[in-house]
Structure 1
């Protein structure tokens, strides 16, 4: 019995952390094209952006915990906005890192995923994503957020357990391409919203609506208040992280 248990544990270990065969180049390119189609059209983006919001708010929450802050909860809304609430010192490096983690989390997660896929660790990526979503689920504080994270985690779990190696590879590559590409668009959207907000003096209703969707009380503006560095410089940092992650991750995925 002990030998059987040891063999089972070894099999699971090898399945998760072992290397899987590299997919064909056409599949890597095809999943990238599909991911691009999930990001560029506005109508589709209104739905798929929820996945980027999960990564965005998850980044805030993870860095808040790592920097010693107390994470009170995360909310995800049907308009693809989100809110992460943490307690701790209102200034300092921990608060700065927490505020900066949102827009940088999706592309950096995509970059990490591209590194795993370049080493052919497809199953490890799927299981790792499932574990992160499960950990995030504990901190979700609204019904829509719970539904969104459960559906995302369920998709990863079902694909990793019930599908063939080719399907797992296609799903993993699509997810990573989507994070890399989907990490770029929100920064441009934030830049556009801040530019529009600056064109006129807003009403209270307009300010509330813009604050909900990215401006004026955006991550860049919060960072500007915390560091006295112009919000435009933080936007430049967000752009740099997103674009460099896309270039580097894309090269890894394509085996360049």
Structure 2
């Protein structure tokens, strides 16, 4: 793969994440991953998943039933902000190992599974649109297109996983996020919300760093 083909997906992902006007639309994809993380951990920890809503303002909510405290609910709340960057890290590893096709099809399957639990029209539209793009590229794209798109997916998840953490703390400082994941965790564990935000940031930045090393080992 040429140098331009390697850099172009990273630059495009950075533009989407850094541009405020574009980010408000591109962020919906990160919200899908965020809520998917909540849902997956809820199921893995034995909670009853009742549904997921994805809203047009890029917010989302995952509703489950189970114990109001304990390791399971802590893991569920923690999963949201760390899922996009961890998925990006996993995508970066798959790309570097040559598993581009598997990455794209796995994403389609995960989105299809998530669609079953969506409980609002906008959420259904968002997941179908995202899954449709992945399906078209996976089924009809050339090998070069698939490789470039897989690189873009990895970079977008890595970069897009960092910005929401900063936005979260900004809202918290203005008192506009009393029900955020960090504040829910603070109420459950008595560990300050800022500590949880810093942990989210550590995972996101660490994933970006290691993912970048995988994708650009020469740097």
So what's the TM-score if we normalise by structure 2? 0.98
What is the distance in 2 between the residues matched to 1:27 and 1:70?
Answer: 44
1:248 to 207, 210, 214: 210
1:103 paired with 2:88, answer: no
How many Å apart are 1:87 and its aligned residue? 0.5
**Which secondary structure state, in structure 1, belongs to the residue aligned with residue 174 of structure 2?**
helix
2:170 to 184, 187, 192: 192
Provide the residue aligned with 2:190 in structure 1.
228
How many Å apart are 1:168 and its aligned residue? 0.6
What is the distance in 2 between the residues matched to 1:232 and 1:60?
Answer: 20
Q: How many residue pairs are counted as aligned between the two chains?
A: 218
**Which secondary structure state, in structure 2, belongs to the residue aligned with residue 68 of structure 1?**
coil
What is the distance in 1 between the residues matched to 2:81 and 2:6?
Answer: 25
- Which digits, 9 at most, give the CA deviation of each residue in 1:66-106, with x for residues without a partner? 11111000000000000000011111000000000000000
Question: Would the aligned equivalents of 1:118 and 1:255 in 2 still touch at CA under 8 Å?
Answer: no
1:177 paired with 2:155, answer: yes
What is the distance in 2 between the residues matched to 1:170 and 1:119?
Answer: 14
What is the distance in 2 between the residues matched to 1:130 and 1:240?
Answer: 28
Structure 1 gaps of 5+ residues are 1-22, 198-209
Counterparts in 2 of 1:43-192, with a 5 A limit? Answer: 43-192=21-170
**Which secondary structure state, in structure 2, belongs to the residue aligned with residue 139 of structure 1?**
coil
Counterparts in 2 of 1:205-224, with a 5 A limit? Answer: 210=176, 215-224=177-186
Question: Would the aligned equivalents of 1:25 and 1:254 in 2 still touch at CA under 8 Å?
Answer: no
**Which secondary structure state, in structure 2, belongs to the residue aligned with residue 140 of structure 1?**
coil
What is the distance in 1 between the residues matched to 2:47 and 2:155?
Answer: 31
What is the distance in 2 between the residues matched to 1:25 and 1:133?
Answer: 31
Provide the residue aligned with 1:200 in structure 2.
none
Runs of 4+ with deviation above 6 angstroms: none
How many Å apart are 1:255 and its aligned residue? 3.1
- Which digits, 9 at most, give the CA deviation of each residue in 1:15-57, with x for residues without a partner? xxxxxxxx33321211100000000010000000000000000
**Which secondary structure state, in structure 1, belongs to the residue aligned with residue 64 of structure 2?**
strand
Structure with max Cα Rg: 1
**Which secondary structure state, in structure 2, belongs to the residue aligned with residue 78 of structure 1?**
coil
What is the distance in 2 between the residues matched to 1:165 and 1:173?
Answer: 12
**Which secondary structure state, in structure 1, belongs to the residue aligned with residue 34 of structure 2?**
helix
